[in-house]
Structure 1
Amino acid sequence: MPFLSPRHILKVSLATLTVVQCGYANPYPGVLPEDGVAVVEDIPENQASIPYMGEEQVLSPYDPSDDLALDTSADSNHTLQYGECYKVQADGNWLGSDSNPWNYYLFGGYSNSRTFQVCRLMSSCQRQNTQDQEVRHRGHLYLWDFRGNHYSRNGEFVANNNRGYFYPAGLSARNYAYFEAHMEDCDDITHSKDTCYINLVLVGQASNNNGIEIRSNNYLANAYNGKSVTVQFRRVKCPLD
């Protein structure tokens, strides 16, 4: 039997390690999803009725000279409307997502922000047979995310998990977030480009924890009852318009 030098043994070991890594490498750079590893073939072709098409058409960060409302009706800027699309802002930060395959929501810069459509029902965003689409005080709503995530590439409604984080729903992780909006100062808005502050809480969580908070790491999270998050909805053009 020929003698194998340490150098030869090292080469063989490295080659074996490379083969093993190529065959079994983790396809996800971040934390594995809660539902296990999923691949593209696992994702249905049409998970939702509203596909995301191309880049979102949005304006620059809010400024008094910006026409964020995209219409000129008297109440367009300071009332929340079913069927309309918005960026969500809190304390100068915008609601976007991290790079995890689930795209957990967190607040940060405008360039990472997402566009959400306000929906009255999951089957229909607007009230039927009426022009009145205003979300009233203590009105309920779902938020549609046009981008979705790795597991819902055609878009999905916002959901949250048992660790409290919010994300676009996908696979079996479909604990949809049903929000209740508490209007703070909407009746006091006078400037056409101002938007009122809205306190958001959850309704009907199985855990009975219907609060929402922004954690110290800027992630949007489920919380105990009594907590709410104060946000502003800045109207933008819907991606499909």
Structure 2
Amino acid sequence: MLLRKTAFVLALATAALLASTATAAAAPAADAPGPFAAAAANPVIVVGGLSGIAVAYEPIAARLRADGYRTFIYQLPGLGLGDIPTSARAFATYVNQVRAATGAAIVDVVAHSEGGLVSRYYLKRLGGTAIVGRYVSLGTPQYGTYVANIVAFLGLGTCAGVVACQQMTIGSAFLADLNAGDDTPGAVRYTTIRTLQDELVRPTGNAAVNDGATNVLIQAYCPLRVVGHLGLVLDGTAYTIVRGALADGPVRPNCLAL
């Protein structure tokens, strides 16, 4: 099992090295409001994770657009292999581009995996709490993951030289800094979503944050629902939680959603 998880991490890193490293392009035109989002709803930025090319997030972006949200995808610089604070500074620039393109003062963020750490660093260290209304993370190793530690344990170097992997290791200096003090600063509404079947965030409880966030374990509501790490951006039940969080609604997952 450990070897399989390690191989998966290395496969992601290899895919990232072979893929394009360009960040997402300028924000597309806004769509008309749908049945769930009010016309004045904040734009939503979907933030990708490690090796997550923009097109991989089109399924969740399409759901958001169908519900009427002006939706944009942010692909991490270098596909997330590099320093997370550096990625967060680039993200800050992108947020301002979305605001300029839409005329919106406030945006909401839906972030997958490492993208949740990039976004949280932006909120906590770069003044993002004045600009983000809602933060939703999907399978983000908020307190690190043993899967990152395993690479070093098996003698493959410090995360095979991937800086972001080093920073997502449990006990890293980056995470110690990010998690010092209040996990949920500002007036931002924080929601974390996690799954028991997450292959890359171990222990899965490390995908939650403290200090007033709404932390949702999918299987606490839908015990038979099987959702993996990458599946969090594809799964219908996970999306109903995202949609509820963006509408400030109660946690009512649809366990049968496709």
More relative contact order in 1 or in 2 (CA 8 Å, sep 6+)? 1
Q: Which has the higher strand share?
A: 1
Structure having the higher helix fraction is 2
> TM-score, with normalisation over the residues of structure 2?
0.24
Higher-Rg member (1/2): 1
